[in-house]
Amino acid sequence: MQLFRFIKLLFKSEKEITSNTSMKKFLIVGLGNIGSTYDDTRHNIGFKTIDELASKEAIHFESEKLGSIATFRFKGRTFILLKPSTFMNLSGKSVKYWLTKEKIPIENLLVICDDLNLTFGTIRLKAKGSDGGHNGLKDINTVLQTQQYARFRFGVGSEFSKGRQSDFVLGKWDEEESKLLPERLEVACKLIKSFGTAGLNNTMNTFNGT
């Protein structure tokens, strides 16, 4: 029986091997805007989340085509972290390029973004959905021509006066938020690794509402 399995493995098609490898690769995209002006702003929580994960995994981002990339392995899975360099409103081009380059199926894509409709620190993982008014998601939906991919919405609250939405999302975290962020980022990093190892549904059940 062992000899039969060995022979079968030797003659396994390249397509099968590529498919199996691709299913164990995950593209984790943190949305944000490049440049020091946008550091530590609410709109850049996607960048901040995967920066935190990269720090925990002791890996560094390298400038590549259409974004910065960092990669690590965990429990037999490969996690490719991407910070698009195309600016928020043109994120789709970068996402599509890296999905194609790394031959990653769309079900292994996770996009992290800010959400004004959720109170600060609220975590909401969804399997699909509309852009909800988020320009980064809107461009990804347009370029990929689908809404069928996982998105991790990080609540940033909506404590702004009428007409001040842009100033709020592009503003820095306040003192209280800055104190609470480390714990929220800790949970966010665990969610990302769970997405790749436990699967989308299990991760939603475990982390949504935490």
Whether the CB-CB separation of 79 and 124 falls below 8 Å is answered with no
CA distances from 177 to 9, 38, 40, 154 (A): 53, 17, 11, 13
Q: Which H or E element spans position 155?
A: strand 150-155
Q: How far apart are CA 138 and CA 88, in angstroms?
A: 10
What single letter denotes the amino acid at residue 30? G
134 is catalytic: no
| Alpha carbon distance 39, 48 (integer Å) | 8
Please list the alpha-helical segments (H only) found in the chain: 2-10, 14-23, 45-56, 91-101, 135-144, 165-169, 175-197, 200-207
175-197 and 45-56 helices cross at what angle (nearest 10)? 70
Out of 25, 32, 41, 43, pick the active-site residue: 43
Tokens of 4: 């039969």
Phi, psi of 86 (to 5 degrees): -95, 5
Tell me which residues are annotated as active site: 43
